[in-house]
Amino acid sequence: MTVCEYRAGLEGIPATQSSISFVDGQRGVLEYRGISIEELAERSSFIETAYLLIWGELPNKDELELFEYEIRNHRRLKYRIRDMMKCFPEGGHPMDALQACAAALGLFYSRRALDDPAYIRAACVRLLAKIPTMVAAFQLMRKGNDPVQPRDDLGYSANFLYMLNEREPDPLAAHVFDVCLTLHAEHTINASTFSALVTASTLTDPYAVVASAVGTLAGPLHGGANEEVIFMLEEIESVENVAPYIDHCIEHKQKIMGFGHRVYKVKDPRATILQHLAEKLFEKYGGDTFYDIALEMERVVHDRLGHKGIYPNVDFYSGLVYRKLGIPTDLFTPVFAISRTAGWLAHWKEQLNENRIFRPTQIYTGTHSSPYVPIQER
DSSP letters along 246-258, please?
Answer: HHHHHHTTPPPTT
Phi, psi of 57 (to 5 degrees): -145, 160
**Cα–Cα distance, 190 to 25 (Å, whole number):** 13
Q: For 173-176, which contacts have Cβ atoms below 8 Å and span 24 or more sequence positions?
A: 173/281, 173/325, 176/277, 176/280, 176/281, 176/321, 176/325
Q: 86 to 125, contacts with ligand CMC by CB under 6 A?
A: none
Q: Distances in Å between the alpha carbon of 351 and those of 125, 206, 216, 293?
A: 18, 12, 18, 42
User: What is the SS3 assignment for 22?
Assistant: strand
Examine residue 315 and tell whether it contacts ligand CMC (CB under 6 A): yes
Q: Is 5 exposed, middle or buried (0-12, 13-18, 19+ CB in 10 A)?
A: exposed
Q: How many CA atoms lie within 13 A of 11 on its CB side?
A: 6
Name the phi and psi angles at 21, rounded to 5.
Answer: -140, 165
Query: Of the two residues 75 and 267, which places its CB atom closer to ligand CMC in the complex?
Result: 267
CB-based contact 312:271 (threshold 8 Å): yes
From the CB of 132, what's the least distance to ligand CMC, in Å?
20
Q: Is 258 in the site for ligand CMC (CB under 6 A)?
A: yes
The least CB distance from residue 185 to ligand CMC, in Å, is 13
Rounded to 5 degrees, what angle do the CA atoms 127, 346, 199 make?
Answer: 75
Task: Closer to ligand CMC by CB, 99 or 133: give it.
Answer: 99
Q: Does residue 259 bind ligand CMC (CB under 6 A)?
A: yes
Known catalytic membership, residue 276 = no
Residues in contact with 27: Cβ distance below 8 Å, sequence separation at least 6, in sequence order: 266
∠ at Cα 280 (274, 285), nearest 5°? 120
**How many residues interact with ligand CMC (rule CB under 6 A)?**
20
Binds ligand CMC by CB under 6 A, chosen from 43, 255, 276, 284? 255
- Residue 222 interacts with ligand CMC (CB under 6 A)? yes
**Nearer Cβ to ligand CMC, position 105 or 249?**
249
Nearer to ligand CMC, 34 or 309 (CB): 309
Active site annotation includes 368: no
Applying CB under 6 A, which of residues 314, 325, 335, 345 lies at the interface with ligand CMC? 314
* Annotated catalytic residue, options 184, 205, 315, 347: 315
Instruction: Decide whether 150 or 223 has the Cβ nearer to ligand CMC.
Output: 223
Of the residues 261, 323, 324, 347, which one makes contact with ligand CMC according to CB under 6 A: 261
Between 172 and 191, how does the x/- string for binding to ligand CMC read (CB under 6 A)?
------------------x-
Examine residue 347 and tell whether it contacts ligand CMC (CB under 6 A): no
Taking alpha carbons only, the member of 338, 344, 346 closest to residue 55 is 346
x/- mask, ligand CMC, residues 274-313, rule CB under 6 A, reads: -------------------------------x--x-x--x
* Candidate list 178, 261, 268, 347, residue with the active-site label: 261
Report yes or no: 185 and 316 within 8 Å, Cβ to Cβ.
Answer: no
Listed ranges 43-51, 158-166, 220-228, 327-335: which one lies at the site for ligand CMC (CB under 6 A): 220-228
In the complex with ligand CMC, the residue whose CB is nearer, 172 or 305, is 305
For residue 282, the minimal CB distance to ligand CMC (Å) is 22
Nearer to ligand CMC among residue 259 and residue 291 (C-beta): 259
Residue 248: what are its φ and ψ, rounded to 5°? -65, -45
Task: Give the nearest residue (CB) to ligand CMC.
Answer: 260
Burial label, 313 (beta-carbon count in 10 A; 0-12, 13-18, 19+): buried
Interface positions with ligand CMC (CB under 6 A): 9, 190, 221-223, 225, 255-262, 305, 308, 310, 313-315
Give the catalytic positions in this structure. Answer: 261, 315
